[in-house]
Amino acid sequence: MPNIILLGPPGAGKGTQAKRLVDERQMVQLSTGDMLREAKTSGSEMGRKVAAVMERGELVTDEIVIGLIREKLGGAAGGGFIFDGFPRTLAQADALGQLMADTGQKLNAVIEMRVDDAALVARITGRYTCGGCGAVYHDQTKPTAVAGVCDSCGSDKMVRRADDTEEALRTRLMEYYKKTSPLIGYYYAKGALSSVDGLAEMDVVAGSIATVLNSGD
């Protein structure tokens, strides 16, 4: 199975598309954001260390996230990885290249999800998810049928991310433009980059990603 990176600003829909690929193609989602949030919930020392940084919308150190990815790649053979939210810096991109080489794997595609900033702010500041099943909702564009109750699983535990505030989002966007967006050029120069329109309907975006995946080896 191919190994791919989903690249794009916060709110581009990387997580949503990654989850679809997991369901439809049995690929393996490696989201450093999810891993860090899990560490935070588990109360581990690392989790405590990163909590405030994440809440402000700043990037966690390369050392920590590279360590997380190294752990996951070490155990899992076979590939089919979707890197979601990683790499986010050039140092992380170099480290990933090295890790893949060390484990005998290849990066098949880097898919850039393009969206405009105004859309991101609107998407993210209204976002909430079901604590029971992970379904994603939005105050304006996709509210639950019954306020506060999940359409899919009936849970009434709705959660909002601590960094989905307008202020933290501004910081996340700035971090993206300063540190992550250079990766677009980096992977383009390596001949690995494909871009899809992240503002299209979810199914259309999924179709564009499928086209990239099916055109590869």
What positions carry a catalytic annotation? Answer: 14, 88, 127, 161, 172
| Residue whose entry in the numeric block shows the structure tokens 């099916």 | 214
Q: Could you write out the DSSP letters of every residue in 128-165?
A: EEETTT--EEETTTB--SBTTB-TTT----EE--TT-S
Considering CB distances under 5 to 8 angstroms, the limit depending on partner class, which of Zn ion, ligand ADP, none binds residue 33? ligand ADP
51 binds Zn ion (CB under 5 A): no
Which of 81, 86, 128, 187: binder of ligand ADP (CB under 6 A)?
86
Q: Closest distance between ligand ADP and the C-beta of residue 174, in Å?
A: 11
Q: How far is CA 124 from each of CA 13, 136, 150, 190, rounded to the nearest angstrom?
A: 10, 11, 19, 31
Considering CB distances under 5 to 8 angstroms, the limit depending on partner class, which of Zn ion, ligand ADP, none binds residue 133? Zn ion
Site string for ligand ADP, 40-79 (x = CB under 6 A): -------------xx--xxxx----x--------------
The CA distance from 176 to 160, in Å, is 21
The CA distance from 93 to 81, in Å, is 15
Which of 52, 101, 133, 136: binder of Zn ion (CB under 5 A)?
133
Q: Closest distance between ligand ADP and the C-beta of residue 115, in Å?
A: 12
| Residue whose entry in the numeric block shows the structure tokens 């099943």 | 133
Question: What is the footprint of Zn ion within residues 69-108 (CB under 5 A)?
Answer: none
Q: Closest distance between Zn ion and the C-beta of residue 133, in Å?
A: 3
Omega before 87 cis (within 30°)?
yes
Which of 3, 17, 29, 92: binder of ligand ADP (CB under 6 A)?
92
The CA distance from 28 to 131, in Å, is 21
Q: Which residue is nearest to ligand ADP (CB)?
A: 33
Which of 150, 193, 205, 209: binder of Zn ion (CB under 5 A)?
150
